Amino acid sequence: MKKLLDLITETMELAFDELGYEKSYAKVSISNRPDLCEFQCNGAMALAKQLKKAPIEIADSIADKLLDNKMFSEVNAVMPGFLNLKLSTDYLADYLVQMSGDPGRYGCERVEKPKTIRIDYGGPNVAKPLHVGHLRSAVIGESIKRMGIFMGNTMIGDVHIGDWGLQMGLIITELKERKPYLPYFNSTFTDEYPTEAPFTISELEEIYPTASKKSKEDEAYKEKAMQATYDLQHGNRGYQALWRHIIKVSVDDLKRNYKRLNVSFELWKGESDAQPYIPEMVRKMKDAGYAYISEGALVVDVKEETDTKEIPPCMILKSDGASLYNTTDLATIVQRVGSYNPNEIIYVVDKRQDLYFTQIFRCAKKTHLVGDDVKLHFLGFGTMNGKDGKPFKTRDGGVMRLETLLSDIEEKMYEKISENQTMDEEDARKTAAQIALSAIKYGDLSNQASKDYIFDIDRFTSFEGNTGPYILYTIVRVKSILNKYQQAGHSIVGIVPGAACSESEKALQLELARFNGVIEAAYAELAPHRICSYIYDLANALNHFYHETKILAEPDAAKQQSYIALLELTRGVLETCIDVLGFTAPERM
């Protein structure tokens, strides 16, 4: 379906055209004075300058032209030359009838040319638990992926785990100190290794920080860890078997955690998967003359003439020939282009890596790892801060595990809903988890991704104000009315064409009609916060309408039917939006 705003602009263009005015001036926007009108066109002012005429004269002539147009109930020319518009209730109702007739999409069309887009939005490291630093990537990335799918694209989410490098050598070294008798450390062992890992996830999460601490204090220990890393990467059979155990145990745990966040990945690739692509990639960069030795290291220049700040060369290999974070990301691009042949790769990563990704993208383009037609997109997000304005920490200043954060908020929600509910324990727990997730995700997504924000648990979990629980509360309210209506033996029909009787009803209808435009714009800008602010407006419009209107007690059956259909459409639009944001609403709360 065409967007309502576009339809109005088209009508306006026609009027301009018929009066001999340049129709590029006919653009219509949502009114910034809702007390005066619903839409406005300010084109007469700019046009007047060009034609050296009084703006009000032009506005008047257009208002005259539109006098009998069925689209509007009011067209007013006001000083100095504004056109204030109100939509006719019939026209609006008709638009909503069409929206209702398209359940699930509500008039939002898919993109004309679907793309294949790979999206990198995980970045956890093995053997380290997910902490709040990983929250934003997961929450924003999942929502962008869902927006992309809704718009008709093929989206391939890749967790891109950090499963390579010194951290693996550290774990192996510490294990060897503790359990030297394991077959993985016996070089004469030629049998199959055990299928069971010699550690649990909790042990692993303790082993890694211990080893990391030791390596900082003990030079010899660090040497051992570096040697173990080298041996692992150069075919030590026992270490490789151990490494597979580490990955397996970590990934199982990560999957469990992401699942609680309602986040999933199509691909569970890691940094290690890119390693086989490195030698060939480096050779090509050297052969083509892009890579050269500078102070011992192999680098590619990526600065451009138009740069206003210094962009240092992209390092490909360290002076000892070892690869680094950059090398892995570049090789990952080779790997990604090689499979699925994407039109675009989106990275949802901490914005402090902005310069780094500028270097990577330029290097990838310059050395032709990707064609010019492939879009590389960095979506950098800001930091999640505590109420003190510093990065979010536990009460004693430690790094907060994501699991702990989730459980704390679930518990808080559970207490809240248990106060005045008759749900059984299991239902209440499930509902609490749903509300908690809405609090966390909406709290995050309602901020522009690139900005830092304050994670305020008290505010985010409130059932009032601009919060996830408020949105869910509104949906539950609507569902409850719809259920009561159906329980009384009625069935829900589509919107009944006809007039909106009250201002609050019309305001709700106008909000609903914005849906396709909002989703389109949010996707174009990769901006989930636009969807959040839309559903907040929509929920407010719904609640206002609800307070002003007798719905279940309405004696006129036709009127009631129309109200109910409007509620059903509101429910559908709200639930579609929160699904795109990555959370769901309960039946009761």
Residues forming contacts to ligand ARG in the complex (CB under 6 A) are: 120, 123, 125, 160, 162, 329, 347, 349
Residue type present at position 157: G
Least distance in angstroms from the C-beta of 258 to ligand ARG: 15
Query: At 354, which helix (H) or strand (E)?
Result: helix 354-366
- DSSP per position, 12-32: HHHHHHHTT--GGG--EEE-S
CA distance 536 to 522: 15
Least distance in angstroms from the C-beta of 125 to ligand ARG: 5
Nearer to ligand ARG among residue 123 and residue 469 (C-beta): 123
Nearer to ligand ARG among residue 60 and residue 350 (C-beta): 350
Least distance in angstroms from the C-beta of 44 to ligand ARG: 51
Structure tokens at 510: 């106008």
Nearest CA to 455 among 467, 443, 442?
A: 443
Nearer to ligand ARG among residue 269 and residue 571 (C-beta): 269
Number of residues written out for the chain: 589
Q: Which residues contact 80 (CB under 8 A, 6 or more apart)?
A: 45, 55, 56
Nearer to ligand ARG among residue 340 and residue 414 (C-beta): 340
Nearer to ligand ARG among residue 38 and residue 120 (C-beta): 120
Nearer to ligand ARG among residue 329 and residue 511 (C-beta): 329
Backbone region of residue 72 per phi and psi (left: phi > 0; alpha: psi in -120 to 50; beta: other values):
beta
Contact 378, 355 (CB under 8 A): no
Least distance in angstroms from the C-beta of 178 to ligand ARG: 26
In what side-by-side order are the strands of the sheet with 314-317?
291-294, 297-300, 314-317
Least distance in angstroms from the C-beta of 164 to ligand ARG: 10
Nearer to ligand ARG among residue 349 and residue 580 (C-beta): 349
434: DSSP letter: H
Nearer to ligand ARG among residue 21 and residue 347 (C-beta): 347
Nearer to ligand ARG among residue 124 and residue 468 (C-beta): 124
CA distance 349 to 478: 37
Least distance in angstroms from the C-beta of 61 to ligand ARG: 58
Structure tokens at 80: 């100095």
Least distance in angstroms from the C-beta of 447 to ligand ARG: 20
Work out the burial of residue 190: count CB atoms within 10 Å of its CB; fewer than 13 is exposed, 13-18 middle, 19 or more buried.
exposed
Nearer to ligand ARG among residue 332 and residue 434 (C-beta): 332
Contact 211, 173 (CB under 8 A): yes
Q: Respond yes or no on whether the N-terminal peptide bond of residue 80 is cis (omega within 30° of 0).
A: yes
Residue with the CB atom nearest ligand ARG in the bound state: 123
Q: Which residues contact 335 (CB under 8 A, 6 or more apart)?
A: 269, 273, 274, 277
CA distance 115 to 325: 28
Least distance in angstroms from the C-beta of 162 to ligand ARG: 4
Nearest CA to 82 among 47, 48, 21, 41?
A: 41
Q: Which residues contact 440 (CB under 8 A, 6 or more apart)?
A: 135, 139, 405, 406, 409, 460, 468
Least distance in angstroms from the C-beta of 376 to ligand ARG: 11
Least distance in angstroms from the C-beta of 395 to ligand ARG: 24
